[in-house]
Structure 1
Amino acid sequence: MASRQVAQQSGQSWRYLYERLGEKPFQQLCNALLAHVFPDVSCFPVGHADGGRDAVLQEGKSSIIFQVKWTSHAVKDPVTWLDRTIKDETSSIRRLVEQGAEKYYILTSVAGTGTPGRGGIDRLHTALEKHSKEFGISFVCWWRADIDARVDAAPDELKWAYSEMLAGSELIRYLIEAQSAETDMRRLRALLLKVIATQWRDDAKVKFKQVELDSHDLADLFVDVEATLVSLPRRTVGLFADRVVGAQLGGAAAYLTRTAQPFTLVRGEPGQGKSTLGQYLCQQHRTPFLRAEDGGQIGSTGFQRFPLRIDLSDYALWLLGTDPFSTVGGGRAVRVRPRASGPLEEFLKDLLHAKSGKLPVEVDGVHDLLHRLPVLIVLDGLDEVARRDVRARVVKEVNEFCARLSTAVTPPQVVVTTRPNASDFSEPDPDLFETVALSRLSPRLRISYLRKWAATRHVSPRDRLVLERSFQQRSAEPHIDQLAANPMQLTILLYLLQKRANSVPSSRTALYSSYMETFLDREATKWPAVQDHRQDLEEVTAYLGWDLQSRAEADGSSGHVPTRDLKQSILVYLYQVDKETSLVDDLFTAVTDRVWALSSKVQGTFEFDVQPVREYFAAHYLYHFAGVDQSDFDSAKVLRSLIQRPYWLNTCRFYCGFAKPNDLAGMLEALEEERDLGLRPRQVRLASWALLADGVFNGRVRSLRRATDLFTDDLSVRLLHHALGASDETPALSADRGGKFLAESLLARVAGDLRSPMTADRVGLAVQILGEREAFDAWWQPQVQAAAGGSNQALWMGIGRANAAGSRLPQETVAALTLENPLEAAAAVAAGVCPPPDSNTERWMLHAALDGHCCDQDSPASSHVHDILRVVSPQTLIHRAHPPQHGDAIDVGHLQAPTDTQRQTALQRLKRRSPQWSLIQAALRTGRGQKGTTSSWGNTARELSSLYGPCWLAAEIAVIGAASPRTVFLTGGNLTRNSEPLGESPDYGRLLQDVRANRSAPEWWSQQYVAAPDSLSRRTWALALLTCADADVVSDHLAHLDQALAVMTFPQQLALCRSSSRLGASAIARRLRPGILSDSATPLSALTQMLVAHHSVSLKRLDPLTHLDESALTRMAQYGVSAWPSLRALTSRMIAQPSNTLLDGIKAHGPSGIIDVDIADASAGIAPFAFSIMEEPDRYPMAWLLAAERCVAGSTSPDPLPTIAEKERWFTL
C-alpha cells in the first residue's frame, strides 16, 4: 500500500520502491550506499539515539554528517517538509558544528522536481543556502533521484540485498540472475520460474499438428504476420497524431514488442495466426528466464517482461463455476457454484497455483506481482467465449483489470486476440485499447513460410525448388491466392501441393476435405483400424466436431472433453445410429492417435487442436447428417439457423462449401428471407458476403448473379462499404465470384441518380470490388467527357475521387473542364485531375487550393496543386503545434497530415517548378535560435504570400502559429518594417505577432475590423478572433463576427468553417468558456454559433449545447464536416431524451456525418426509432446507422443451435 500512497507524488521515478522497505531498512540501504561510496564512513546502529547523525565520515579534525529521512506518504510540499526537519535538528546541528562538522548531507526517499527556479530541488537549494549562513556549515540534499543513481551504480549484491524495493526491469533481472535470495523473494522466484517453464512447454510447439509438424518447435515455423492499425485508443488520439488509422505496422510480433500502447486488441480471421502470435510473444519474453538449452531459437525482446498467456475460454469456464485447472477421475473438471465476483487477479491466482505445481499463491501476492513487475498478459481467444452474456462479463472484467493495471510501477502490456466481430459482441473498451488487424500473408511471407515448412519436413533442396515453383504458378490463380493468404490454409495447401502436385482444390471447404481424404489414404496404408472403419471414423469425427462445438455454445465449455466423456459420446452415438458399439475403443484410438482430429493437451482431456478444424467437422456433420431420417427435411433451416448465430459463422462457411449446384437456389432463398426479415442486418449481410467471397455460388452463373443482388440495397451497400474500409478483416470479393456483376450493378445505379446520397458509398464499394483501375476508368472517363463543361461535371469529379481517377483523364478531357466555380475546381482536385502547367485548368485549381477549398482532399495525384497541398497543408502545421503529451484532440473527419516522405517527394517537384520553393522549404525548417518559437509558421506564411500573393492558405498558417500554445512556443519570426497585419498587402509574420500580443486588447480587434474591410482580411480577422483572442474579447465582438459572416459567399463560409473546425478539433488553441454564446445580447446566426462552438464545446464528452435550440443545430448541418459540434450535441440529446425532432436534426447531417465516439449506449434510448433509421440507411451518419442496427439485432436472442437441432429433430439421437 505504501507505494500506492505516493503514486501521485511529483517527480516520482518508480525505479525503486523505497516505501516498501520501511524506515529502518531504508536507513540501512543508505548506509550501505555510503559505505560503497565512502569506504571510511562510520554508520551508527539503526534505531538507536544518534544525536542527529546516522553516519559520519571523519576527515582529520573535521567531519561530514549524513542524516536519513524517509516517509511512506506523499508529501505535498517536500521543501517545507525537509526544511522543517533541519529546524527540528537545530540543537544537534549546532553541537555537531562545534565538534568540527563542516558538511551536512540529508538523504531522503522524497522525490524532487527539476523545473528551473520553481521546482523543489532549486527551492530547497535556496533554503539550504540560508541555513548554511545561519549554522556555518554546508548543507547538501540527496533527493530520491540521487539515491536512485547511487543504487544504479551499486553492485548487484548490494541492491539485491534489499530486493523488496525492486520493481520493473531490475526486479525481472533479479528473478532471472539471482541464485541466492531471501526467503520471500526465493519463493516468488521459484513460483515464477516454474510457471514460465510450464507455459514454455505448453507453447513451444505449433498447435496445428495435423500436417506431421507436431514435433517441431514454434520457432521453426513462425512467420511474423503483418498487421494494420484499425483504431487508436480514443483517450490518446491526440498523443499519436503521427499515426494513421489504416497504416501498415509491419510484423505484428515486432510491432507489439515496440508499441507504446499498453493495451492492444488483435483481430484476425480463423487460422490467421492470432494464437500463434500470442505464443510467440510470450516465448520471446520467457527465453531469458530459462537455461540456454531450453530456450529454443526464439530471441528475447529488448525490454523484458514477465509473460502469462491465458485462454479466455478457460477464464469464462472459471466464471461459470468450473475450475479448468482441477480434475477428478477421467479428466472431468471440478464444478463449483458460479462466481458472483470473478476479477482476473483471482483467476491468475488459480492459474499460477496450477502452473507452478501447486505452490501456494494468494490474491494479495498476485496484486503485488502485477504492481511491481512489468508484465505481458496475452488473453487469447475472446471469440471462443460463445455465450453473449458470458462474453460481456469477461470483457467487463478485462476492462476493469486493465484499469487497475494502469497504476503499476511499469506500464503493463495486455494483448487480447479475437476474430472479426460481425455481430457487435462485447469487445474491450475502445477508450483504452488500440485495435490492430492481422493482414493476409504477403507474397514474401508466403515464400518465407514455405521454406520453413519445407525445412521442417526435410524436403530436399531440389524438391523444395519444384514445390516453390509450383506454388508460385498456382498462386497466380485468384482463388489459390486467396487461400494462400491464410497461414493455416497455406499449411494445408502446401501439404496437398507436395502430395498431389497441381491437383489441389480452390475453395476452403474443398481444401479441408481434400486434406482429410489424403491424410486418411496415407493412414489407411499404415493402420488397419483406419482401413477397416474409415467411414465410421469419418462420421464419428464429424459428430465429435458438432458435439464439442455445441457444448462450447450451450454451456460455455472451452472445447476440451474428459476422456471418459469422449468415449461415452462415441458409444452413445454408435448406439443411437444402430452401429456396432464394440468399435468404441478402436474408434477412440483412431480419432485420438491416428487422425488429425483430437489431441490431449491437458492430462485426462481431449480437444481439437485448433478451432477451425472443429468447425469444419461440425459443418461436415450438419451437411451430411442433419435431417437424414426425414424425407421432407428442409435443409434451409440449418442455413438460416447458422447464419443467425455469430459463433457459428465459420461453421456456416464450411457448411455452405459442401453445397452442390442443386442446393444453391434453396440457399439463396434462405439468405434472402433472412435479409428481408431484418432481425440481424449486419450479421446476415457480412455472413452472406463471406459465402459469396468463398465461391459458394459459382456452381451456376444464374445463382451467382442472384447472389450479388443480395448486396445492392442501400443498407447492404453502406454496411459493406464501411466493413471493407474499416480493415481488411472482411474477405475480398474477386471478379469471377460475383465482383464483376455487383460492381456493374452499383455503377449503373450511380449513373442513374448522380445526386443520390448513396453515390459515395456505391462508388466506394464498387471501387473496392473492382480493384483494378482499368475497369472503373472504362466506365467513368466517357461519362466525364460527356459532362465536361456542364452542370454535372462536378458530380462526376466527385465520383472519380474514389480512386483518383482524374489523374488518368485524357488531356483533351481535362482541357474541356470549366472550373471557374471554386467548389467545382475543388472537386477536380479531389478527383486527382492533373492539368498541364500554366493552363486555365491549373490556374482554377490553384486558386481553389489557395482559397482554402482543397485542404481536406487526399488524392495521391502529383500535380502542382496537389504537391502544394502536401507541403504546406494546415494539418501538418497543426501537428507541429501539438505540445507533448497532448491527448484532447478528436477526429471529426478532417484529412490527416501527409507523411514526411510524401511531403519531401512533393517538395522536390515543387523546387524544380519554381526555385522560390527553396525559400518556403527554409521557412518550414527551424533555424538557429528559432526552436520553441512560432518562426516556422510566420515565415512560411510570408514566403507563401510572396510567391502567390495574399491568400487564405497563408493566412490560416499564420493563425495556426498564433494559436499555438504560448507555454510551448514563444513568439518569433520575421517582419517587414511598417507593415500591416491585414489589408491589401498583409504581412503574415506581423499578423501572427500582433494577434498574440493583442489577444486581450479589444480596441485592437475593433481597429482591425474597421481598417481592413476587404473579404480576405475579414475572414482572417474572424479566424484569428475565434482561435486566439481572449474570451471577453470574443464576446465583445460577436456582433462584428456575425456581420462579417453574413456578407461572405457560401464557398468563403465553407473555407472559414473548415479552418476553424480543424483548429477547434485539434485542441491546440485556447478554449473559450462554455457559456460564451449565451452572453450575447443580440441574436446570432447558426453559422456564428457553430464557429464559436468549435472552440468552446467540451472535447472530452458529447456537449449538448443546451443554450442552442434544435433548429439552429439542424441548420448547421449544411456546413458538412465542420458541423461536428451540432452532430455531437444532437447525439448527446438523443441519447438522453430521444425525439423525432432530434432524429431529423441528425438526419440533416446525412451519411457523411462523423461522430468519433461509440454511441452503443444510445441503443436502449433509440429503440423506438431504430427501425425507422434502418428503413432510411442513406440518410444517417454511419455511427447512428450502426447504433440502430445494434439495437435491432440485440432485440432478440436466439436459442443455442443444439437446442434448435433437438427441438426440430435434425438428428435421431
Structure 2
Amino acid sequence: MGIAIRDRKVLWARAHNQCAYPACLQELIETPEIGNGSTVLGEEAHIRAQSPGGARYDPEYAEVDSYENLLLLCPTHHTLIDKDGGSRFTVAWLLEIKSDHERQQKRHSELQTAIRAYLGDRYHAEDIIQFQQVDIHGPSVDSMFVDVPIGGRRDGTAVTEFLAQIADADPGDTAELEMPSDFVVAGATQALLHPDWVGNAVLVGGPGQGKSTVLQYVCQFHRARRLGEDAYTAGDLDLVRAATPARFPVRVDLRKYAQWAEANPSRPNKGKRSRRKSRDSHWDGVNDGWRSLEEYVVEDIGRHIGANKFEARDLAVLLATEPVLLALDGLDEVASLPLRERVTKEIAGVQARLSPIAANLVILVATRPGSSLRPLTGTKSFPVLLLQRLTQGLRLQYLQRWVAVSKLSKESSERLQAAFMDNQSLPHINELASYPMQLAILLHLLHRRQLLPQQRTELYREYLKTFLDREQTEDKEPLLGNQRRVVENTHAFLAWYIQTKAEQGESSGAIGRDQLRTLLREFLAGRNEELKLAETLYSAITSRVLCLVERDDAFEFEVQSLREYFAAWYIFQNLPPKGNGNSRDDGLDALLERPYWANVCRFFIGMLSDGEVRALRDNFRVVDKRVSPLPIIRSMAATILNDRTYEGHTDSTIRDAVNMVLDGPGVLLAEDGLFDGGGAPLRLGERAGRSQAVAHLKERLEGNESSVRRDAIASCLRGHAIPEDDLASWWWSQFDLSPDWFGSASILGIFNALGGVQVSHLRSLISKVDQDSEWYTDLLARGRYDGGDLEILEAARRELNDGAAGSTRSDLGKTDLTILIECAEITAAGTILRAPQAEDMLSRGRAARLNSDSFSSRILRATLTFPDNFDSSSPVDWQERLLVLAEVWGGGYVLRRAVSAIPESIDNAAIESMGRNTSRDLSEAVATEVAYRANRGNSEWWRTHLESSKGPCDRMIAILALFERSHAKVFIELSDIIDKMVGTLAPKRYRIVEHTLRRDAVARRVRPLALQEALRTKQIDLSGRALWLVRIVGSDATKKRVGPELETKLGDLLRSGVTDGREAVGAAYTKRKLKLAAFKHARQALPPGSWASDAILASMTLPLAKEILFEPENWPIDIVQIASERMLAERTRRLKTLDEVSSTYRWFDEEK
C-alpha cells in the first residue's frame, strides 16, 4: 500500500528536519552552501515492522504505513533501532521518543523569535572589548583579537590528545615557549572552535592574560554565525566556519551569579546571617535556598529578549534541540572561598544534570591561577587548559591590529613598529609584552609618550597618568583641572571599597547609583564644600565615567586589574612608613597572606621605594613563618621577581628573593609549575633573578640533597642557564664516580661534544656505577651523548642486551647511540620491517652508514636485513633472519625476545630445527623457546625453570615467558614463586617487563590469562606489582577482578617502577575511596594529570597536608597541589577579612 502523502507530510513537518532519536541533531535534508540541490538523509522508519521477521512485527497491527507507526530518523539511528530484530527498542519507547521529539520541536519553533532576540542583544552588548584603551574608540573584540596559546600536560585525556593533533598539524610559533616536554600547546580558538571539539574545559590565566576575551570571542563567533554576520571569521578559516556547529552561547558572569544565588528572596529563615557564618558555611543542606545556575540562565535570557518569554521548560527544549555553549567567566572573582567552592560545585552539578538531556553541550569556565578547581577537575569532565604567554608572532600580530584600530598615519605606524621591534628583546619589555592587556598599554605609552616602563606597576601608573592628562588637556573633564588629586583618590577609595565588599561576598564588583552617591559623600566628608564636590564627582562618574564603566545599571572598573591597581594605591597612600598595626609593613604583611589580594599586593610592592624593596626579605620571612609550609610567599616572591620589581638592585638583594623562592622544597614546587600561572616550570628572566638562580642551584647541586630534589635542582639549573654559564665545564670539574653525579649530568645534558678526558671519565663511570632505578643507556641518551667511543657504545649494547631494550628513547636523530637504541627495540619486539619502514629509518640521515664498518653500522645493517619477500610463516626465513641477529647481538635479552616473536603457527619441531647447525647463542635461545611452548601446562617444569633462573636478566625473560605462555593452572600453582620473583625486579627491570607485556598484548602475542575465579576465591594472593602485570595480560573478566584486589595494594605497585600509575589508580578505585598513604613515595609513578579526583581519594587531614608540603619530594605533584589547596582553604577560613584588619588598626582614620 505504501505511505500516504498526507502521512508523509505530517511526519516530516512535525519532525522539523531533525532526527527523532534523543540527543541527535542530524539534519535530515542537507543543503550545500555552494552549488545546487539537496541531499535527503532522513529515513521513514517503521515502529512496527511491515512483515514477519522484521523489527517489532505485530500481526494484529494493520496500519503499518500510517503516520502513527512512522518515525523519522537519520540512517545511523534507523539501523540502530532495527538491529538484532529490534529487541533493544520497544514499541512503547519508540512512541515515547517520537512524542517527546515532536513536542520539543514544536516549542523550539515557537522559541525562534526569543532566541534571535537574545542573540542579537548579546551580540551588540558584547561586541566591544572590555578594556577601553586611550585613543581607541569602541574597537570590537574581533578587530583586536589574537589567538592566545593554551596548553596542558599530555596526560592521555581526550582533550590533550586533541590539542596534540592540532599542534602537529599546525604548530605555529610555540617553540619559543619554555614548557615541560610533556606539555602540548595550540591556539585557544584554534581548539575551542575546531569542528571536532567536544566536552568542557577550564581556562586558567593570569590577570590581563586574555581568558575572558577568549570566552567573549568564542561566544561572539557563534552569535555571528547564527545571526548571519560577517565578522568573527576565526582567522578567515572558511572550512572551520562551515564545519563547526553554530552553538547557542550563554555567557555568565559568575560574580553576579554567586551574589544572585545567595541572595534568594525566598530563602528559608532568611534573617541576616552573621558574616562569619556566611563565610564559613559550606551550604551542605538541600533546603538552604541556594538557587541553581539553570535558574539564573533562564532569568538572564529573559532579561535580554524584550517582550518575549523564556521559561525553565524552554531551557530543556533548547538543550535537547540545539548545540549549546555555557561560558562561565570570573570564577576567581567570587572572592569568598566558601562561596567560590559552592559555585564550583554548582558548575559540576550543572554538568551532571544537563549532560543526560543535552544534545550537544559545551561548558567553558575561566579563572585565574590559584582557584581551587577540585570539585570540577575531580569529575574528569573539566580538563584544565592553561593560557600561555604571547609568542613573538602573536605580539607582532597584535601590534598590527592595534595600529589598524588606532588609525595611525603611515609615518606614525612605521615609527611605532620600529620602536617596538628595536626594544622587544629587552628583558623587561619582553616580560611586559607577554600578555594582551599589558601589551596594549605598552603600545599606547610607546606611541603617545615614547615611554618604555621598567616594570608592571609603572606600566599601569603611566597609563593612568596619560589617560587623565588627555581628559584634562582636552577639557573632557573640567574637574581634573583643579581637583585632579581628589579625582584620583576617589577612584582609589572606590576600588578599595568594591574590593573589600567582593572579598566579603557582598558585591559582584559593581556599585549602583544610589550607593555611589552615598559613598562619595562619606569619602568627601570634612572637605570644603563637600556636598557640592560630591555631586560634581557623582555627575562626572555617571555621565563621563572617567575610569569606571556602566554595565547593567551599575558602575565598575573596566577590568579587575585596574580596580586592583587603584586599591593598592589607596592602601599605599594612606599607610605611613611607621605605625602600630597600620604601617606600610603591616599593610604589606596583611596583603601577603591573603591570596585574594595577590594582584593588589603585586601593585603595592611595585610602589615601594628602593629601600622598602630591599627590606622585603624581612616581610617575606615574617609572613612565611605564619603560613609555612603553605608556599604562597614563595609564589609571591617568584611573581615580583618576574614583575621586575628588583630591577637595578644589587646581586645580594635579588639573591635573597631567589633564596626565598627556591630554598628547601621550593625548587621542587618551582619545577612542578606551582609558581607559574601557565603551569610551566618557573623560569626567572635576565636581571630578574636568572643569574642568582644559577648561583643558588649550583651551590645546592654541589651539596647533599635527596635524589628527587637533585633531579629538580638540575632541571631548574638547566632551564635557567645560558651558554655563558658553561654548565658542562662546571659540572665536569665536579666529576666523581657516583650515581648522583651521573644522574645530574644527564639532566644537565652535558654528554655531547666530549673531550678525551671526559670520555675517559664516562667510561669509568659506566663500568663502575650500577643502580636499580635507571639504565645508564637512558642516562646517556637523556644527556645527549653523540660520540662514537667503542667502549661506551659496547657498554650500551651490553646493557640493552641485558634487558634495557624497550625503555630507552632518544631524539638525537642519527647518532650511534640512537641507532643502537632503535635497533634493540625493533629486534626485541620481533618487528618485521617492510620496505617503507626500512626506508623511513634510513631517511633520517643514516643511509650513508650502511656501507660503513662502524659498530653501529653493523647493527643497523642486521636490523634492516630480511630475506627477500620475507614470509613470517616460513621457518627458513626466520632462521636466516635470526642468524644475522645472533651474529651482532650474541646471546642475551635482545635475541631471546626476537626468538619469542616467532609466530605460534610455526610448530615446535620447525622452531627447534632453526637452532641446528647454527651459532651456540641461537641454539640456546631456540631450545629455551621450544621448552616454553612445549610445557605450557607443566607446573613442575616451570617451577624448576624459575628456581634455576639465576641472573636478573634470566629472571626477566622467565617472567615474561610465564605470563605470556603458561596456562592459568600453572600460574595458580606457582603464584607464590611468581609473586616473589616479580618482587625481586629492580624498578628499571619492572618497567621493561610491563612495557613488553603491554606491547605483546596489543600485538595479540599473548594468550589471555583467566584468573578471575582464583582471585575471587583467594586461591592466589599477589602483590600489587604482580597484579598489575596480570591485568595487562589477563582476560576481560580477570582485568575486572584485578581492580578490587589492587585497592589495598596500590602503594606496592606505585613503588615498583611502573611507567605511569595513573591508569592503575583508576583501576584500583571501585567504591571505597583510596587512602592517601598509598601515594607516598610515588612521585615518579604519577605524573601530573586528571587522576587525583575527590571522587576517588580519601579526604586529606590538615596534619597530612603540612607533612606533604614540608617534603613534596615524597608525593606526586597532584597530591602536593591538593595539600596546598587544603591548607589554603583552612587558613583563609580562619583569617579576618582585610576590611576587618583595616578597621581594627584604623588604617584610614584621619587620626591614627
Q: Which of 525, 541, 544 lines up with 1:575 in the alignment?
A: 525
Shift of 1:763: 1.9
Shift of 1:193: 0.6
Q: Which of 333, 352, 370 lines up with 2:319 in the alignment?
A: 370
Shift of 1:459: 1.2
Structure 1 residues 314 and 1039, CA gap change in structure 2 (3 angstroms): same
SS at match of 2:289: coil
One-letter identity of the residue aligned with 1:672: R
Match in the other structure for 2:812: 861
Shift of 1:210: 2.7
Which stretch shifts more, 283-292 or 719-728?
A: 719-728
Structure 1 residues 88 and 591, CA gap change in structure 2 (3 angstroms): same
One-letter identity of the residue aligned with 2:500: S
SS at match of 2:1130: coil
SS at match of 2:507: coil
Between the aligned partners of 2:56 and 2:233, the Cα distance in structure 1 is: 58
2:154 is the alignment partner of 1:206: no
2:303 is the alignment partner of 1:354: yes
One-letter identity of the residue aligned with 1:649: A
Match in the other structure for 1:18: 20
SS at match of 2:249: strand
Between the aligned partners of 2:426 and 2:679, the Cα distance in structure 1 is: 21
Structure 1 residues 938 and 310, CA gap change in structure 2 (3 angstroms): farther
SS at match of 2:250: strand
Q: Which of 189, 192, 217 lines up with 2:115 in the alignment?
A: 192
Structure 1 residues 961 and 189, CA gap change in structure 2 (3 angstroms): farther
Q: Which of 53, 62, 70 lines up with 2:47 in the alignment?
A: 70
Match in the other structure for 2:191: 255
Match in the other structure for 2:57: 85
Do the aligned residues in 2 keep the contact of 1:1035 with 1:1080 (CA within 8 Å)? no
Q: State how 1:165-314 maps to structure 2 within 5 Å.
A: 184-230=107-153, 246-258=182-194, 259-292=196-229, 300=241, 302-304=243-245, 305-314=247-256
Between the aligned partners of 1:960 and 1:240, the Cα distance in structure 2 is: 35
Shift of 1:194: 0.8
| Cα RMSD, aligned residues only | 5.6
Match in the other structure for 1:1190: 1125
Shift of 1:1129: 11
SS at match of 1:497: helix
Structure 1 residues 1000 and 496, CA gap change in structure 2 (3 angstroms): farther
Between the aligned partners of 2:921 and 2:393, the Cα distance in structure 1 is: 58
Do the aligned residues in 2 keep the contact of 1:871 with 1:906 (CA within 8 Å)? no
Structure 1 residues 640 and 109, CA gap change in structure 2 (3 angstroms): same
2:743 is the alignment partner of 1:806: no
SS at match of 2:202: strand
Do the aligned residues in 1 keep the contact of 2:1100 with 2:1123 (CA within 8 Å)? no
Q: Which of 595, 601, 611 lines up with 1:646 in the alignment?
A: 595
Shift of 1:1090: 6.7
Match in the other structure for 2:714: 763
2:785 is the alignment partner of 1:834: yes
Between the aligned partners of 1:657 and 1:1122, the Cα distance in structure 2 is: 45
Between the aligned partners of 2:935 and 2:800, the Cα distance in structure 1 is: 30
Match in the other structure for 1:895: none
2:532 is the alignment partner of 1:587: no
Q: State how 1:1009-1028 maps to structure 2 within 5 Å.
A: 1019-1026=956-963
Structure 1 residues 961 and 695, CA gap change in structure 2 (3 angstroms): farther
Do the aligned residues in 1 keep the contact of 2:828 with 2:894 (CA within 8 Å)? no
CA deviations over 1:126-183 (Å, ceiling 9, x no partner): x9xxxxxxxxxxxxxx999xx9xxxxxxxxxxxxx9995599xxx9xxxxxxxxxx7x
2:351 is the alignment partner of 1:402: yes
Shift of 1:759: 0.7
Shift of 1:752: 1.4
Q: Which of 791, 804, 817 lines up with 2:737 in the alignment?
A: 791
Which stretch shifts more, 363-372 or 239-248?
A: 239-248
Shift of 1:198: 1.0
Q: Which of 444, 456, 459 lines up with 1:495 in the alignment?
A: 444
SS at match of 1:375: strand
CA deviations over 1:335-363 (Å, ceiling 9, x no partner): xx997243322222111111212522221
One-letter identity of the residue aligned with 1:559: G
Structure 1 residues 564 and 719, CA gap change in structure 2 (3 angstroms): same
Q: Which of 1089, 1104, 1118 lines up with 1:1169 in the alignment?
A: 1104
Do the aligned residues in 1 keep the contact of 2:828 with 2:893 (CA within 8 Å)? no
Between the aligned partners of 1:166 and 1:995, the Cα distance in structure 2 is: 66
Shift of 1:483: 0.3
Structure 1 residues 855 and 812, CA gap change in structure 2 (3 angstroms): farther
2:522 is the alignment partner of 1:522: no
Between the aligned partners of 2:81 and 2:555, the Cα distance in structure 1 is: 63
Shift of 1:1020: 3.1
Between the aligned partners of 1:1170 and 1:796, the Cα distance in structure 2 is: 32
5+ residue gaps, structure 1: 1-12, 27-35, 39-65, 97-104, 128-141, 148-160, 172-181, 325-336, 881-899, 931-936, 964-969
CA deviations over 1:754-781 (Å, ceiling 9, x no partner): 65542112222233333x3552xx2443
SS at match of 1:807: coil
Report the TM-score, using the length of structure 1 for normalisation.
Answer: 0.73
One-letter identity of the residue aligned with 2:459: L
Between the aligned partners of 2:109 and 2:1069, the Cα distance in structure 1 is: 55
Shift of 1:271: 0.7
Q: State how 1:657-736 maps to structure 2 within 5 Å.
A: 657-679=606-628, 681-698=630-647, 700-701=649-650, 702-723=652-673, 728-729=678-679, 732-736=683-687
Match in the other structure for 1:883: none
Q: Which of 450, 463, 469 lines up with 2:399 in the alignment?
A: 450
Q: Which of 682, 703, 727 lines up with 1:752 in the alignment?
A: 703
CA deviations over 1:893-918 (Å, ceiling 9, x no partner): xxxxxxx9999688623444348858
Between the aligned partners of 2:646 and 2:125, the Cα distance in structure 1 is: 41
Between the aligned partners of 2:262 and 2:879, the Cα distance in structure 1 is: 64
Shift of 1:306: 1.9
Which stretch shifts more, 901-910 or 189-198?
A: 901-910
Between the aligned partners of 1:566 and 1:960, the Cα distance in structure 2 is: 80
Between the aligned partners of 2:958 and 2:158, the Cα distance in structure 1 is: 33
Do the aligned residues in 1 keep the contact of 2:224 with 2:230 (CA within 8 Å)? no
2:798 is the alignment partner of 1:847: yes
Between the aligned partners of 2:76 and 2:938, the Cα distance in structure 1 is: 36
One-letter identity of the residue aligned with 1:202: A
Shift of 1:493: 0.4
Do the aligned residues in 2 keep the contact of 1:112 with 1:121 (CA within 8 Å)? no
SS at match of 1:1199: coil
Between the aligned partners of 1:580 and 1:586, the Cα distance in structure 2 is: 10
- How high is the sequence identity, in percent, across the aligned residues? 22
Between the aligned partners of 1:579 and 1:1203, the Cα distance in structure 2 is: 31
Match in the other structure for 2:515: 565
Do the aligned residues in 1 keep the contact of 2:21 with 2:73 (CA within 8 Å)? no
SS at match of 1:413: strand
Which stretch shifts more, 314-323 or 1007-1016?
A: 1007-1016
2:426 is the alignment partner of 1:477: yes
5+ residue gaps, structure 2: 1-14, 29-37, 168-180, 267-285, 852-858, 873-877
Structure 1 residues 20 and 407, CA gap change in structure 2 (3 angstroms): closer
Count of aligned pairs: 1042
Report the TM-score, using the length of structure 2 for normalisation.
Answer: 0.77
2:497 is the alignment partner of 1:547: yes
Between the aligned partners of 2:298 and 2:900, the Cα distance in structure 1 is: 57
One-letter identity of the residue aligned with 2:292: P
Structure 1 residues 556 and 1103, CA gap change in structure 2 (3 angstroms): farther
Structure 1 residues 581 and 680, CA gap change in structure 2 (3 angstroms): farther
